[in-house]
Amino acid sequence: MLPYVEARRKVIETITAAKLAPRCAYVELGQALGCVLAENVHADRDYPPFDRSTRDGFAVRAADTARVPVTLDMVGEVKAGGMYTGPLRAGQCVQIMTGAGIPVGADAVVMIEHTKSAAGSVLIERAAEAGQNVVPRGSEAKADQLLLKPGARMGYPELALLGQVGHVRVKIAKPPRVAILSTGDEVVEVWQQPNALQIRNSNTISLAAQVELAGGEPVPLPNAPDHIHDLRKRVERGLQEDILVLSGGVSMGKYDLVEVVLREMGASFGFDAVAIRPGKPAVFGTCNGRFFFGLPGNPVSTMVTFELFVVPAIDMLSGAPPRPLPSFKAKLAAPVKQKAVLTHFLPAAVDWTRGDPVVKELPWQGSGDIVTLTQANCFLIVPESKLEFAAGDWVDVLPRRGAL
């Protein structure tokens, strides 16, 4: 049974060793949000392409403002998109707007707040240094400079950069296809009316959502009953995709058949238990050249183990490096104590209303309690090395993806 950090590392090492190249496609710029770049992107010219003013004010020769106050002749005006034909001579200034090009001869901009204008002249009340309020040409990027590399995930700054350089068709890595297979005779479809001893298939719904949030393409499959022949057929179908994620059937019960079927199919296991709660029976391995994850069937266990182990796999099969777990520190609002020597991921709520982040464990009924998880925005992490914390102690917190 591996610590969760080692289990996560095992996933990353296994996928790295496979050296799989992602499938690629071209999309329009407006469709690239969240995708992973699969090409180099270079600057098409210097950025900025001219010396640019960062303030509304007056373009001046800094030497003319060495002794203030000083009155300068205002000889023109330039707005964004325009250029004063100049050159600017000693004792002169040009009114300039944010984003406009600096006139030839000028080397600074005095903010309008530090001036007083009169007919044809401007009183400069504060001295300027050369380069003040000016972004030099090419200081952000030089023409042909490499700006983005394959593996970059396209967020709004990256899309803005692509637009700035006129890169309107983008080569991306296709999202990995993730087959989702729930198991169990007790599971019925969400649109069905369960009897008193059945449950609706909420895991397929939540897993499909988690796959999309992580950047993959969900491929939901029909639920597999607890029969080896039927389960094997579903598993064979799931292994046609890049990743197969199963929920349920991985514990030690008589009808927990997932590992039995996978072993019969020649699977190689990276791990078959992790020292965490919820999620201890989690399984990872390869079969027929594909990666599979067997996650416990209780919904909170499924959600936690997906975040810990499946997300880095989706990252890597998207052609991107695995994102680190986005944990952070918060102060405990109340004492926490656990007994089992495992790392615990407890549904919790964190807030910043009083400055420092403060986190509080939510009362819950175990790993089947989806109701409580809807009220949580994070998981409070209690490590196996220290199972008891006092109020006010700093602890690690893992955000619930999409909730913070």
Rounded-to-integer distance, Cα 58 and Cα 78, Å: 10
Q: What is the pLDDT of residue 254?
A: 58
CATH for 349: 2.40.340.10
Residue given tokens 């001295």 in the structure block: 127
Dmax over CA atoms of the chain, in Å, equals 93
Q: What is the pLDDT of residue 151?
A: 95
Statement to judge: residues 179 and 167 lie in one domain: no
Statement to judge: residues 343 and 246 lie in one domain: no
Domain count, the chain: 4
Statement to judge: residues 99 and 155 lie in one domain: no
The two three-digit tokens of residue 348, written as one number = 């919790």
Buried b (16+ CB within 10 A) or exposed e, 355-391: eebbbbbbebeebebbeebeebbbbbbbbbeebebee
Statement to judge: residues 146 and 186 lie in one domain: no
pLDDT tens digit sequence for 221-275: 998 888 888 989 999 999 999 999 999 867 665 556 888 889 999 999 999 999 9
Whether 365 is covered by a domain: the verdict is yes
Statement to judge: residues 200 and 297 lie in one domain: yes
Q: Which of 298, 317, 336 is the last residue of a domain?
A: 317
Whether 404 is covered by a domain: the verdict is no
The two three-digit tokens of residue 332, written as one number = 């405990």
Q: What is the pTM of this model?
A: 0.89
Statement to judge: residues 249 and 349 lie in one domain: no
Q: What is the pLDDT of residue 199?
A: 73
Whether 322 is covered by a domain: the verdict is no
Say if residues 125 and 4 touch (Cβ distance below 8 Å).
no
Statement to judge: residues 180 and 312 lie in one domain: yes
Please give the residue range of the domain that contains residue 148: 26-47+140-173
Whether 356 is covered by a domain: the verdict is yes
Determine the 3-state secondary structure of 160 from DSSP: helix
CATH for 73: 2.170.190.11
Statement to judge: residues 181 and 281 lie in one domain: yes
Statement to judge: residues 242 and 206 lie in one domain: yes
Q: What is the pLDDT of residue 253?
A: 57
Statement to judge: residues 33 and 152 lie in one domain: yes
Bridge pairing between strands 92-96 and 388-389: unpaired
Statement to judge: residues 153 and 182 lie in one domain: no
What burial class does residue 278 get, using C-beta atoms within 10 Å of its C-beta: 0-12 exposed, 13-18 middle, 19+ buried?
Answer: buried
Statement to judge: residues 168 and 30 lie in one domain: yes
pLDDT tens digit sequence for 121-155: 999 999 999 999 999 999 999 999 999 999 999 99
Transcribe 260-318 into DSSP letters: HHHHHTT-EEEES-BSEES-TT-EEEEETTEEEEEE-SSHHHHHHHIIIIIHHHHHHHT
Whether 261 is covered by a domain: the verdict is yes
Low-confidence ranges of the chain (pLDDT < 70): 249, 251-256
